[in-house]
């Protein structure tokens, strides 16, 4: 019963987001009475928190790559991100991220976002420590640039992830980073 309810809750989150999330829809999808849900999870927030906890488990069991090369780490990590985003859990997660301005949503997902964000930044800080990219490279900026390129491509012309294209995008950003373009305050030649 718990698994059916959590599966139904993920589907409801993917469909409606947090603001539109309805426990009676979850009950109908799971084939249980609403009071059965409320006995275990006293409110919407508790149920969604249980869903987020379940979604975090695979991330904890399968940390982001650490191959010893930034480009390979980013390629694998963004491939995983794309694959996750295509699943119902990924769509539910995306809906929660869209509603992060809501204090209830932030309270539910804030720790998970921080934890995973730290893993992503660690990929870049390890590359800095290995001197793959210059000291002072802004890890968040590097990741934001790759993410923006990848997300624009996926939302635009290509609904699937093209590995050759992803490799080109990641390589371009890493080459730029190696040249110091992502070190804040570094003087750039024009």
* Per-residue pLDDT reduced to its tens digit, 170-188: 999 999 999 999 998 765 5
How large is the average pLDDT for residues 110-138? Answer: 95
Phi, psi at residue 63, to the nearest 5°?
-65, 165
| Inter-residue contact 137 to 124 (CB < 8 Å) | yes
Indicate whether 156 pLDDT > 80: no
Residue bearing the bigger pLDDT, 155 or 140: 140
- Cα separation of 6 and 24, whole Å? 13
DSSP 184: T
Residue of 98, 16, 8 whose CA lies nearest to 47: 8
Q: What angle do CA 164, 170, 176 make, to 5 degrees?
A: 135
pTM of the model as a whole: 0.83
- Residue 61 has a pLDDT of 83
How many other C-beta atoms can be found within 10 angstroms of the C-beta atom of residue 187? Answer: 7
How large is the average pLDDT for residues 52-57? Answer: 92
User: What domains are there in the chain, each with its CATH number?
Assistant: 2-178 (1.10.357.10)
- Cα separation of 146 and 74, whole Å? 9
- Cα-based distances in Å from 41 to 2, 7, 56, 147: 10, 14, 18, 35
């Amino acid at each position: 019963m718990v698994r059916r309810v959590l599966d139904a809750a993920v589907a409801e989150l993917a469909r409606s987001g947090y603001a539109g999330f309805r426990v009676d829809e979850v009950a109908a999808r799971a084939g249980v009475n609403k009071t059965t849900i409320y006995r275990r999870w006293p409110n919407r927030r508790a149920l969604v928190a249980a869903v987020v906890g379940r979604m975090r488990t695979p991330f904890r069991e399968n940390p982001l790559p650490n191959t010893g090369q930034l480009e390979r780490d980013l390629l694998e990590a963004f491939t995983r991100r794309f694959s996750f985003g295509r699943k119902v859990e990924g769509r539910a997660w995306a809906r929660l991220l869209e509603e992060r301005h809501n204090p209830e949503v932030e309270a539910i997902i804030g720790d998970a976002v921080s934890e995973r964000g730290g893993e992503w930044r660690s990929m870049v800080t390890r590359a800095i420590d290995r001197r793959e990219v210059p000291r002072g490279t802004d890890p968040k900026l590097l990741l934001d640039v790759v993410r923006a390129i990848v997300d624009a491509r996926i939302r635009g012309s290509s609904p699937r992830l093209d590995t050759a294209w992803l490799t080109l995008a990641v390589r371009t950003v890493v080459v730029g980073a190696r040249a110091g373009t992502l070190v804040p305050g570094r003087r750039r030649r024009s």
